[in-house]
Amino acid sequence: MNHFEYIDGVLHAEGVSIPEMADKVGTPFFCYSTATLERHYKVYADAFEGLDATVCFAVKANSNQAVLKTLGNLGAGADVVSVGEMRRALRAGIDPAKIIFSGVGKADAEMREALEADIAQINVESIPELVELNRVAIEMGKKARIALRINPHVDAKTHEKIATGKAENKFGIDWTRAIEVYRDAAAMDGIEVTGIAMHIGSQLTDLTPFREAFTRLAGLVEQLRSEGIHIRNLDLGGGLGIAYQGETPPLPDAYGQMVRETVGHLGCHITLEPGRLIAGNAGIMVSRVMYIKDGEAKRFVILDAAMNDLIRPTLYSAYHEIIPVEEQGEEDVQATVDVVGPVCETGDTFGKDRKLPDDLKAGDLVAVMSAGAYGAVMSSTYNTRALTPEVLVKGNNFAIVRPRQEIDQLINMDQIPAWLGNE
Ligand SMILES: *Cc1c(COP(=O)(O)O)cnc(C)c1O
């Protein structure tokens, strides 16, 4: 459920009308709903009631500090994959004791900063990384609390670019080698083994792969215990999918029940890292129609947003619902159109063969739905287009939480070397 609805025929985010925001902010822009973020977080967190669990929001899904603070105020921790994300989480006031550092390759400087900040846990994904972290920790006179990220060799049955738990994926340590790596880790002076971590993929719409992976994980924990290696934190990752196009992913309650059944008996603290589920449907991208182009074979609706603003359709062939901001009547004639951006790439297409009002015209607004996760965070400045602003709504108020970048700000970052004549 989200809080983007038509009120008197005009799309609103909670109590604020989209055209009102568009007038003040310009287009395109990302718009997030506080009520939806809060609701998603609460429904998810409630699914683990009775378990000793911490929900660490996956910052890579949406790293705006206003979003992080909204969730942090409800008790969320953060799962970060770079030192930049860690700084954002800390600045948003998230307790270091609730920050987990994941990711396939952490640089020395990142390890150092994480140890300095005394975050809860660093998830290690390979033996060389473990050796390096040990070295850095010893140098600093510290012990790094770690989990090993284990790759359970489970097919998440999701888009190939966001499946992470198969043998051929770059993520984690093969589960068949886990015991020996844990033995090595336990013998390292700079390492304190605290946990075990998994994240098998994103946008999963079925519980079966999770169940398989967590069952495997529980077996490992028991095996490790019999070897005297005490695992106290289970990090189960994120990955629960959302509805983009009528999918019916399992509800958080069913997921929570499955977690109880597979790992509940181990008596461990549980960390969860949802990203998409919290933020995906809590955000939209608002764009203005620039031109309607009636081609030979097709009608194109050309937006002022492009693939640099929201790359998911281009990158993952992802589906995003696109709706007119002015509500269409039941009787109104619809046209079948391709919705595209102005960037010079055929891939710059938001949707093919979509139904939009036949009388949609230049200047009208449309909303690209489900753009709250992996939207603004993945945007770029391709075609020298400035980064898109982000707006957060709460009730009848809204605030710009990232202003539009000035194009000159962007251009001024280039430096001409002296040999080219740098006046
Ligand atoms: C991306 C990622 C997540 C979040 O995944 P969602 O599908 O957005 O829930 C959680 N944990 C790790 C380690 C990740 O890489």
Q: How many percent of the chain have pLDDT more than 70?
A: 99
Helix, strand or coil, per DSSP, at residue 6 = strand
Helices (H), 271-422: 276-279, 312-316, 407-411
Residue that is written with structure tokens 């770059």 in the block = 170
Residues 183 and 324 both lie in one domain: no
Q: Which two tokens stand for residue 30?
A: 């990302």
Q: Which residues line the annotated binding site for pyridoxal 5'-phosphate? A: 239, 273-276, 374
Same domain, 352 and 320: yes
Domain count, the chain: 2
Taking the CA of residue 238 as reference, the ligand 1 atom at the shortest distance is 9
Name the pairing type of β-strands 144-151 and 10-13. unpaired
Does residue 327 sit in the same domain as residue 399? yes
Q: Would you name the residues annotated as active-site residues?
A: 344
Domain finish residue from 262, 279, 296: 279
Compute the distance from residue 103 Cα to the ligand 1 centre, in Å. 10
Domain membership flag for residue 287: yes
Among the candidates 279, 296, 322, a domain finishes at 279
Which atom of ligand 1 approaches the CA of 61 most closely?
8
**Six-digit token string for 133:** 């972290």
Q: Cα(307) to centroid of ligand 1, in Å?
A: 22
174, 304: one domain = no
CATH of the domain at 261: 3.20.20.10
The domain that contains 405 carries what CATH number? 2.40.37.10
Query: In this predicted model, what pLDDT tens digit does every residue of 48-70 receive, in sequence order?
Result: 999 999 999 999 999 999 999 99
Q: Are residues 147 and 102 located together in one domain of the fold? A: yes
153, part of any domain: yes
Q: Which two tokens stand for residue 411?
A: 């251009």
Ligand 1 center from residue 362 Cα (angstroms)? 38
CA distances from 401 to 25, 31, 87, 181 (A): 11, 10, 17, 43
Query: Does the C-beta of 276 come closer than 6 Å to ligand 1?
Result: yes
Average the pLDDT over 360-366 and give the result. Answer: 98
SS3 394: strand
Q: Mark the binding-site residues, compressed into ranges.
A: 239, 273-276, 312, 316, 345, 374
Mutate to test the pocket of ligand 1, among 40, 56, 121, 273 (most ligand atoms within 8 A of CB): 273
List pLDDT tens digits, range 212-262. Answer: 999 999 999 999 999 999 999 999 999 999 999 999 999 999 999 999 999
- Contact between 89 and 119 (Cβ < 8 Å): no
User: Looking at the domain assignment, is residue 138 inside a domain?
Assistant: yes
pLDDT tier, 1 (very low <50, low <70, confident <90, very high otherwise):
low
Domain boundary among 238, 257, 279: 279
Instruction: For residues 107 and 233, state if they share a domain.
Output: yes
- Domain membership flag for residue 260: yes
Q: In the predicted model, what is the mean pLDDT of the chain?
A: 95
DSSP class of residue 356 equals E
Q: What is the mean pLDDT of residues 251-279?
A: 97
Pull the structure tokens for residue 88.
């954002």
Mean pLDDT of 196-210: 95
Query: Which distant-in-sequence residues (6+ apart) come within 8 Å of 197 by Cβ?
Result: 100, 102, 123, 147, 148, 149, 150, 172, 234, 235, 237, 271
User: Is 54 found in the same domain as 24?
Assistant: no
Tell me if 361 is assigned to some domain: yes
Residues 239 and 361 in one domain: no
In a domain, 416, yes or no: no
- 119 with 23, same domain: the answer is no
Q: What is the pLDDT of residues 316-349, one digit of tens each?
A: 999 999 999 999 988 889 999 999 999 988 889 9
User: Is ligand 1 within 6 A of the CB of residue 149?
Assistant: no
Name the residue range of residue 62's domain. Answer: 33-279
